[in-house]
Structure 1
């Protein structure tokens, strides 16, 4: 959810008159940070599930 919230905040700040570029930049940096963390979590999950023994089909 934080990725979405950061992206929405950046959009609001871009649409402000005048755009608040400092806050836009901060929001985009947080979006990138959170996306990388989510990607790392998914990679760990995928790696751990690929190492688990296969279930027998019944």
Structure 2
């Protein structure tokens, strides 16, 4: 019985670590994506093309 509790605890711990790492990578990827998009918008504003048709950006 004690062995099953330890295995369950290990499983829960592993799932928690995996979830935390997944959240961190997702957060960082989203932040970088938003930074690139804002950078593009700022460049458009500097060039004075804010009112024109938006150009597709490669990621």
TM-score normalised to structure 2 length: 0.57
Count of residues paired in the alignment: 41
RCO higher in structure (CA 8 A, sep ≥6) = 1
TM-score normalised to structure 1 length: 0.58
Q: Which structure 2 segments of 5+ residues have no match?
A: 1-8, 52-59
Please report the RMSD computed on the Cα atoms of aligned residues, expressed in angstroms. 2.5
4+ residue runs over 4 A deviation: none
Q: Which structure 1 segments of 5+ residues have no match?
A: 1-16
